Structure 1
Amino acid sequence: MPARILITGASGCVGQYTAHWLLQNSDADLLLWLRDPSKLTAIQANNPRVRLLVGDLRETDRFASDLATVTRVIHTATAWGDPERAHQVNVVAVKRLLALLNPNLIEQITYFSTASILNRHLQPLPEALAYGTEYIQTKAQCLSDLEQHPLAEKIVAVFPTLVFGGRVDGTSPFPTSYLTEGLAEASKWLWLARFLRADASFHFIHAADIAAICGHLAVTPHQRNAEPGQGAVRRIVMGQPAISVNEAVATLCRWRGVARTPGIPLWPWLIETLIKILPIEVNAWDRFSIKQRHFIHNPVTQPERFGGTSHAADLEAVLQDSGLPHRGGV
């Protein structure tokens, strides 16, 4: 009998890439939970394997009968901005959703968090709960709660790094991620960035590669967490190998045909000066991030870990996929 997979946040960038992957690579029936069906641009709503659950995640009990029938959950839905709504969606609704699953039927829950709440060894950052944004705090709180949940051994927590997806020119059927949308704006600042050098590094991943990882997890037998030093919940940070900010700026400059200069190091005192003179609002979490600088993790997972091939294994492939005009030659 085909798997019955629930995807929350199904109209979002990652949700649609994941649903598309499962329709192409499995025979699973999909329950797509979303608030606005008109935003479902990459998936045919009338596909016989698709059923839409239209409503807010806070209306969980409306779909109690459907939730009791699913064998797998891919929970991508999230909220930020308003602290009360973030708590209700990112913590309360998650617990209620899990409570409505049939514990004898459910095989696996893939829960989306964020890599920002983990240190380089995939352990929770105390600072995330201490002074993170409402989004960061609720994600940290939920992960802590899930470690103690009766279904903990069936939960895989996935932690995306910086997510690209869709196209800046709007020609992709998939929604454009916030990071891809920001490429055009970032290009406008290359005239300044080309003069600067920063001692910082990060991971990124394309939504198509997130979908490949989550799809693999959803169609293969669930494995309990065997990682030493972790709890019952399995942790997977999704990202390509780390690159430096300087490498990223150099790649973007080459792509846009902007000449780089020897550069001025962004010393801490210079960063503080720029914060003071530029119209930038900086909160406690921002200051922690500036101080930390290197948002890297080990291990970090790509589709290759599960026998797949990355859709965008490097930043140049991301730029090619994004539709950002290429003006190379420098």
Structure 2
Amino acid sequence: MSQPSRILITGASGCIGQAVAAWLLEHSNAQLLLWLRQPQKLTAVDHRHPRLELLVGDLRHPRRFCRQLALVDRVIHTATAWGDPARAWAVNVQAVKDLLACLDHRRLQQVLYFSTASIVDRDLELLPEAEQWGTEYIQTKAICLRQLMAHALRDRIVAIFPTLVFSGRIDGGGPWPTSYLTTGLRPLFQWLWLARFLRLEGSYHFIHGADVASICGHLLTTPHQPGPQRWRGMNRYVLGQYPLTVNGTVTRLCRYRHMAHPPGVQLHHWLLRALVAVFRIQLSPWDRFTLQQRHFIHHPVTRPESFGRASRFPDLETVLSAAGVPQRGRLPASGHDLRSDM
């Protein structure tokens, strides 16, 4: 009988890392190495599980774990950094190269590399504007992806581009980390009374962390093979449900909260530009680019159904219910320990 595969999960205390770890513990016999900085944030997975090994440390110093990394068969790399340009470069670019160098290339079967759908266009091609105008997070993700496309391991790398990710509850309760998108539901509903009078052309995808875990779990537990979308040998998947419009979303939010949705004012692009000028809002080149785009949709998108599985959260209503958003009355108080994505 073959030995269970050894899978490394970086960013293991984040919403995606914990969801993938939980999925693998339930649906596979893999041995898991969880690389994280703060073990106390591991709330949805029992760190005492016999198939877990914790690697507690900073991603920027992989050589301290050379012995463990040399025995890894597969990797899912979700760790990331933003805010500080120097740290973003060190974590999002340099640390990825250093990590790959520590792996045994003769043994390694697959690397799932998490990026962001913000750096690819409708047809899943890399956006030139991401490197030109993006934030330090966007730029470093685009630069790292270009480097990986030329890497010797590119035929074993799967580029994963999640769209907007929901996870956890708005009150911070429960075992699952709360994503920044779920945290943003609170101010969204607090301003829904005003937003329902506005109309804005735009569209987007979302996906729940549990469905991301289902997709990644499938990829990590099946033989690595060429996918339908490839760059010079590298597989690529944008993860998301079918697109929603902004106006349709407001309608559904109002219906969920049993609020009226009266006729509204159309926010044309010229009006948005005027508001920016009147209120002297400072916009970066990337802000201006995204404001002009407005339709953040991709084709094709990958859902659990793409691999014969069922989405647990296929629509906004199931997402809102799982996030603890009541259909009537006040929103629950926010928690004091909201756990971040990474």
Structure 2 counterpart of 1:10: 12
DSSP 3-state at the match of 1:234? strand
Amino acid in the other structure paired with 1:184 = R
Instruction: Find the aligned partners of 1:82 and 1:282 in 2 and give their Cα distance.
Output: 19
Structure 1 counterpart of 2:264: 263
Residue range with higher mean Cα deviation, 247-256 or 20-29 = 247-256
Structure 1 counterpart of 2:125: 123
Structure 1 counterpart of 2:168: 166
Instruction: Find the aligned partners of 1:209 and 1:277 in 2 and give their Cα distance.
Output: 42
Instruction: Find the aligned partners of 1:168 and 1:227 in 2 and give their Cα distance.
Output: 35
* Corresponding position: 1:319 with 2:320: yes
- 1:249 is displaced (CA, Å) by 1.2
**TM-score normalised over the length of structure 1:** 0.96
Instruction: Find the aligned partners of 2:132 and 2:147 in 1 and give their Cα distance.
Output: 16
Task: Write the mapping of 1:136-285 to structure 2, written as runs, cut at 5 A.
Answer: 136-227=138-229, 230-277=231-278, 280-285=281-286
The share of aligned pairs that are identical, in percent, is 58
Instruction: Find the aligned partners of 1:15 and 1:175 in 2 and give their Cα distance.
Output: 10
- 1:273 is displaced (CA, Å) by 3.0
For the 8 Å contact 2:229–2:237, the answer to whether it is kept is: no
- 1:281 is displaced (CA, Å) by 4.1
Instruction: Find the aligned partners of 2:32 and 2:280 in 1 and give their Cα distance.
Output: 45
- 1:226 is displaced (CA, Å) by 4.8
Deviations 1:197-249 (A, max 9, x none): 11100000000000000000000000134536x32211100000000011111
RMSD across aligned C-alpha pairs, in angstroms?
Answer: 1.3
Matching residue within 47, 50, 56 for 2:49? 47
- 1:311 is displaced (CA, Å) by 1.1
Deviations 1:89-119 (A, max 9, x none): 0000001100111011110000000000000
Deviations 1:21-52 (A, max 9, x none): 00011000100000000000001111000000
Instruction: Find the aligned partners of 1:275 and 1:327 in 2 and give their Cα distance.
Output: 34
- 1:172 is displaced (CA, Å) by 2.1
Unaligned runs of at least 5 residues, structure 2: 330-342
DSSP 3-state at the match of 1:73? strand
- 1:191 is displaced (CA, Å) by 1.6
DSSP 3-state at the match of 1:222? coil
Amino acid in the other structure paired with 1:260 = H
DSSP 3-state at the match of 1:254? helix
Structure 2 counterpart of 1:95: 97
Instruction: Find the aligned partners of 1:54 and 1:227 in 2 and give their Cα distance.
Output: 35
For the 8 Å contact 1:2–1:28, the answer to whether it is kept is: yes
DSSP 3-state at the match of 2:176? coil
Higher relative contact order (CA 8 A, sep 6+): 2
Structure 1 counterpart of 2:106: 104
DSSP 3-state at the match of 1:57? coil
Change (3 A) 1:314 1:226: closer
Amino acid in the other structure paired with 2:271 = L
DSSP 3-state at the match of 1:216? helix
Change (3 A) 1:209 1:280: farther
Instruction: Find the aligned partners of 2:144 and 2:63 in 1 and give their Cα distance.
Output: 20
DSSP 3-state at the match of 1:253? helix
Instruction: Find the aligned partners of 1:103 and 1:199 in 2 and give their Cα distance.
Output: 47
Unaligned runs of at least 5 residues, structure 1: none
Change (3 A) 1:296 1:58: same
For the 8 Å contact 2:170–2:186, the answer to whether it is kept is: yes
Structure 1 counterpart of 2:74: 72
Change (3 A) 1:206 1:280: farther
Instruction: Find the aligned partners of 2:183 and 2:9 in 1 and give their Cα distance.
Output: 24
DSSP 3-state at the match of 1:58? coil
Deviations 1:161-197 (A, max 9, x none): 0000111122321100000011011111112110111
Deviations 1:6-32 (A, max 9, x none): 000000011101100000110001000
Instruction: Find the aligned partners of 1:254 and 1:279 in 2 and give their Cα distance.
Output: 34
Instruction: Find the aligned partners of 2:237 and 2:276 in 1 and give their Cα distance.
Output: 34
Instruction: Find the aligned partners of 1:123 and 1:63 in 2 and give their Cα distance.
Output: 35
- Number of residue pairs the alignment of both structures matches: 327
DSSP 3-state at the match of 2:309? coil
Structure 1 counterpart of 2:308: 307
**TM-score normalised over the length of structure 2:** 0.93
Instruction: Find the aligned partners of 1:251 and 1:55 in 2 and give their Cα distance.
Output: 43
- 1:256 is displaced (CA, Å) by 2.1
- 1:277 is displaced (CA, Å) by 4.8
